[in-house]
Structure 1
Amino acid sequence: MTKQIILQAFDMTAANHNAHGLWKHPENRRHREYKSLDYWIELARLLEKGKFDAVFFADVLGVYDVYGGDEKAALRDGVQVPLNDPAFAIPAMAAVTENLSFAVTVSTSYEQPFHNARKFSTLDHLTKGRVAWNIVTSYLPNAAQNFGLEKMVKHDERYRMAEEFLEVSYKLLEDSWEEDAVVSDPARGVLVDPEKVHRIKHKGKYFSVEGPHVSEPSPQRTPVLYQAGTSEKGREFAARHAECVFVGGPTPEKINYYIEDIKARAEAYDRSRAEIKAFTFLNVVVAETEEKAQAKYEEIKKYWSADGAKAQYGGSTGYDLASYENEDELFTYKHTEQGQSRAAYLTKDAAKPFTVKEIQEKFSKPAEMDIIVGSPEQVADKIEEFFVRSGVDGFNLTHYITPKDLEDFVELVVPILQERGLYKKEYTEGTFREKLYGHPHLSGAHPAKQKKG
């Protein structure tokens, strides 16, 4: 059988995600309606109609305030702000769908593992096992300040914290309650067998959690585990823990390099390469004809905000593009404690060096090298080519005009991918992990299943 594309909508419960300036487009509804459950319910129904596997919710815990030294540009253009908590939209979206799953971003730097475990157990119960956790360590300096820190915890230290966070999470989700702990026996007067619920008694460098977990085992126990990041520490973390990885890169070949590297590292932990699914960005502008698609793209460029794009880039990398004075100097990689894979994208991972002027120009319009523009057949051709060359298992589909771009993709592109056998015509049954891997729980080789001494 031909390998089929796993498709996710890339989104945020915000007025604007990464479509910088496109809130001004007359057909864009999200900045007015993102606060309404009706909007998210409508979106869920659309995605299930298009047989999307999931909606992937990005999230941040602060404002983008690196560009120009403050948050003014980010606020003017709504760069991932105003922003609501994505977890609250999910039960409503799950209630009107049967198969659509939900990946939720939660930071291990500013959350507590006990509270987080209860959140995901609750969501997994309410969605009947359709939840994933996108594990991040957070890159915004303002987020650190919002949680009482003067400065961010250093990049590699954040990953060490994340390792212990996952250790505690596994103890709560996998070990605290035995599968048959809830007996519901009126005759004996026993709802929960106390002998089958265990305190975890974790005491570590970063976390101290007595337990037990207060939620009974959910359909998946542990949500499907996502991780995004291609720094050295990020890849090592993904190889050990992730079931799905979100990988970026300037070319399909670079993306494939990162995927193969992560899978090779996973084998060193006695995990199977098949246990890891890989995703990357997909940016599409499609219309009935190539001419209409190009016209649509030209209109998108009219509304694009260069300042918004630079603000987002500054927050995610630590590079303030307003501070570069010599336009002719080379734009080179420099270490920061923020998003190192994002910083590498236009520097050491780029096919050629860029000058500061060239970088500034890149942010003056959508990144053309990353966007597929064309008729339905042309778009399908390019998706198929990228799918094969990169070795990804699926895509996170972005959208400039919401929900119109998603509607166009469902109506125009999905049927062609289905005809080619590249995309499913029907969902398979079961939890999200069953749809991805054929079993509801983490595999036996996963570190969550390895008993600690």
Structure 2
Amino acid sequence: MTTMAKKKILLNAFNMNAVGHINHGLWTHPRDRSAHYTDLDYWTNLAQTLERGKFDGIFLADIVGVYDVYQGGPGTPLRDAVQIPINDPALIVPAMAHVTKHIGFGVTANLTYEPPYLFARRMSTLDHLTKGRVGWNIVTGYLDSAARGMGLAQQVSHDDRYDRADDYMDVVYKLWEQSWEDDAVVRDREARVFSQPGKVHRIKHAGPYYSIDAIHLSEPSLQRTPVLYQAGSSARGVDFAARHAECVFIGGQNKALTRSIVDDIRSRAVRFGRAPDDIKIFVGITVVVDRTEKAAQEKFDEYRRYASAEGGLAHFSSSTGIDFAEYALDEPISYVKTNSMQSAVEAISSRSTTGVWTKRKVLEQMQLGGRTKPFVGSPQQVADELQSWLDEAGVDGFNLTRTVMPESFEDFVDLVVPELQNRGIYKTDYDPAPTLREKLFGAGRARLPDEHAGAQYRLRAKALA
């Protein structure tokens, strides 16, 4: 009788090239080093720590614009370093890749403001420099402050952003998958031929939003198309993810609700001709761990003294487009249609399926300055909780949010990872295959699978050969 192999947990470190990310205010903790985010050593040391813990990736969030909805301006975010100041996430990746061999890098980039021709080159460059270990977290943006910074009067409407995004994806797929044939580059010194012109093709695209007539500027990288991440959870966002995403990041409020979201995403993927397991689904978590439950609770209580619930409220105001400063503590939050995160608005407004929401209820969630309720406990207790999410919610892994830096990641690597490995639900070594896509989906899958929407352009490229 054969026993079925246990499903292995996938892990990303969830971070941002900024002082504050999700758990606001903790930069004031005396052991926190997040204010050193402008130093390359800060990032290279982190990458080496996470590779020691066999993490699959470093998921780098990003935001364009500032949070200026709360109290009508950016005062609280500026005081509390609520994702401001913030630097470009892509520029730190080559340094981290240089000191590691296996860990992947998910880079957030806002396609609303990134011309696809230049963006495609940037991601190909990163895929070359990381030797195939890069992914792209596709976002469309939701801040009016970003739109104004880019010269627009206001943000593009929610569903229109996704319509533009579909057209954008067709452009970059063509550039990555169709412009250069696999054997276009020959590097023949004697014949003085680097690339064979007949195997490099101009991409002509005339879509509803984007038009190009150009050759992709980069030669093919190991993955061609980076691993595709997406985090939209509105109905339109989930459809977009089901067509394009290979990894989906969701914020799980509870296991039953998360299970329904997971099942919905996978069923929609099937309708797009994909297999259910062609998408890896990650849920966001915050962990405070120590050797005993008592020590972990003491650490959590210590962290709470430095957290900023108001910083979290300012962040959430811009995420929803609702100024929570205008609400009394126990006043029910009304549904207001905004161009911000529609799923976030529905989750905490009069449309919520989880009961009446008030500002007090939102604040109660922000124990560490963010809306993710932390897991607090011993390594065994944390492992129990992670395993239950895998079994009951059907997720594939977790995006681990930082608290005190780098302590929180070091604690997880030193305490939780060995426990997960002992249970057989976490790898003891990396897959030797070089690319991020292969490490997530198996050797031989460095490129998009044929069933993926982007692969149609690769198949057309083969027809041109």
Shorter-chain TM-score bucket reads: over 0.9
Counterparts in 2 of 1:51-450, with a 5 A limit? 51-325=54-328, 327-347=329-349, 348-363=351-366, 366=369, 370-430=373-433, 431-438=435-442, 439-450=445-456
User: What is the alpha-carbon distance in structure 2 between the residues aligned to residue 384 and residue 26 of structure 1?
Assistant: 33
User: What is the alpha-carbon distance in structure 1 between the residues aligned to residue 256 and residue 191 of structure 2?
Assistant: 62
How high is the TM-score relative to the length of structure 1?
A: 0.97
- Give the letter for the 2:116 counterpart: P
Residue 368 of structure 1 and its aligned partner are, at CA, apart by 8.3
Residue 346 of structure 1 and its aligned partner are, at CA, apart by 2.6
Residue 290 of structure 1 and its aligned partner are, at CA, apart by 1.0
Structure 1 unpaired stretches of 5+: none
Q: Equivalent residue of 1:353, what SS? A: coil
- Give the letter for the 1:344 counterpart: E
Task: Say if 2:24 is the partner of 1:20.
Answer: yes
Report Cα offsets for 1:63-100 as digits up to 9, x if no partner.
10000000000000000111111111111100110001
Residue 205 of structure 1 and its aligned partner are, at CA, apart by 2.2
User: What is the alpha-carbon distance in structure 1 between the residues aligned to residue 95 and residue 304 of structure 2?
Assistant: 34
User: What is the alpha-carbon distance in structure 2 between the residues aligned to residue 371 and residue 80 of structure 1?
Assistant: 20
Residue 303 of structure 1 and its aligned partner are, at CA, apart by 0.9
User: What is the alpha-carbon distance in structure 2 between the residues aligned to residue 433 and residue 123 of structure 1?
Assistant: 14
Q: Equivalent residue of 1:210, what SS? A: strand
Q: Residues 225 and 242 of structure 1 are in contact (CA less than 8 Å); yes or no, is this contact kept in structure 2?
A: yes
User: What is the alpha-carbon distance in structure 1 between the residues aligned to residue 316 and residue 437 of structure 2?
Assistant: 33
Aligned residues with identical type, % of pairs = 49
Report Cα offsets for 1:238-280 as digits up to 9, x if no partner.
0111111111231111111111111111111111111111001
Q: Equivalent residue of 2:305, what SS? A: helix
Q: Equivalent residue of 1:395, what SS? A: strand
Residue 110 of structure 1 and its aligned partner are, at CA, apart by 0.7
User: What is the alpha-carbon distance in structure 1 between the residues aligned to residue 124 and residue 374 of structure 2?
Assistant: 37
Greater alpha carbon shift after TM alignment, 255-264 vs 175-184:
255-264
Q: Residues 250 and 345 of structure 1 are in contact (CA less than 8 Å); yes or no, is this contact kept in structure 2?
A: no
For residues 396 and 360 of structure 1, do their structure 2 counterparts lie closer, same or farther at Cα, with a shift above 3 Å needed? Answer: closer
Structure 2 unpaired stretches of 5+: none
Report Cα offsets for 1:274-323 as digits up to 9, x if no partner.
11110011110011111111111111111111221011101111011001
Residue 220 of structure 1 and its aligned partner are, at CA, apart by 0.2
Report Cα offsets for 1:350-391 as digits up to 9, x if no partner.
522223433344447556872110111111111111221111
Greater alpha carbon shift after TM alignment, 46-55 vs 300-309:
300-309
Q: Equivalent residue of 2:326, what SS? A: coil
For residues 328 and 38 of structure 1, do their structure 2 counterparts lie closer, same or farther at Cα, with a shift above 3 Å needed? Answer: closer
Q: Residues 95 and 127 of structure 1 are in contact (CA less than 8 Å); yes or no, is this contact kept in structure 2?
A: yes
Report Cα offsets for 1:127-168 as digits up to 9, x if no partner.
000000000011111111111111000000000010011000
- Give the letter for the 2:451 counterpart: A
How high is the TM-score relative to the length of structure 2?
A: 0.94
Q: Equivalent residue of 1:303, what SS? A: coil
Q: Equivalent residue of 2:59, what SS? A: strand
Q: Equivalent residue of 2:187, what SS? A: strand
- Give the letter for the 1:91 counterpart: P
Q: Equivalent residue of 1:4, what SS? A: coil
Q: Equivalent residue of 2:428, what SS? A: coil
Q: Residues 321 and 360 of structure 1 are in contact (CA less than 8 Å); yes or no, is this contact kept in structure 2?
A: no
Residue 105 of structure 1 and its aligned partner are, at CA, apart by 0.3
